[in-house]
Amino acid sequence: MTELIKSKIRTVPHWPKKGIMFRDITTLLNDPVGFRETIDLLYDRYSNKKVDTVVGIESRGFIIGAPIAYLLKCGFVPIRKPGKLPAEVVSEEYTLEYGTDKIEIHKDAITKGDRIVIVDDLLATGGTINAARNLVKKLGGDIVECTFVIELPDLKGREKIQGENIYSIVAFEGE
């Protein structure tokens, strides 16, 4: 199943800049079999665990996380870029290789003790997921797992989120 999913992910060389091999899941999302396999695999992974809320990181984490939450019969919470959420938010700034960025979550989105699965499409350097993890913990959530469609192990993103359960469907190592 994972090889099928991996085969549906397009590689775009030199995007967004020279030397980057961009892993594009839009081709996976557009493939009915590959998309279904992805959602079914993640649903199966969490169906026997108590999950109160799936948290999806903007924007591809929404696409993967929302159907998982639906199937699990639990809530879905978006983590967004600044200025996109209408109510009171909690923010977390994080470092990129070229500066800083920030993400936000509604202050009332998670209740202390809620069991959370955080979903995103890609684990690369770990900055975004680390910031998301910090937001969930600020609100009192207990993280069941951080899950990704793709992991780029060479970029060592796991090191930024040590102490959490981490799952990725496919890895692109040295590619």
pLDDT, tens digit only, all 175 positions of the chain: 799 999 999 999 998 889 889 999 999 999 999 999 999 999 999 999 999 999 999 999 999 999 999 999 999 999 999 999 999 999 999 987 678 999 999 999 999 999 999 999 999 999 999 999 999 999 999 999 999 999 999 999 999 999 999 999 999 987 6
32 preceded by a cis bond (ω within 30 of 0): no
State residue 3's pLDDT score.
95
Active site residues: 60, 97
In the chain, what are the domains?
Answer: 49-169 (3.40.50.2020)
State residue 6's pLDDT score.
98
**Ranges of H-type helices in 47-174:** 60-72, 127-138
Neighbours of 7 (CB within 10 A): 12
52 vs 29, 32, 40, 102, 160, CA distance in Å? 25, 27, 18, 25, 25
State residue 175's pLDDT score.
61
State residue 95's pLDDT score.
86
CB 50 within 8 A of CB 38: no
Q: How far apart are CA 50 and CA 115, in angstroms?
A: 7
Q: How far apart are CA 57 and CA 80, in angstroms?
A: 7
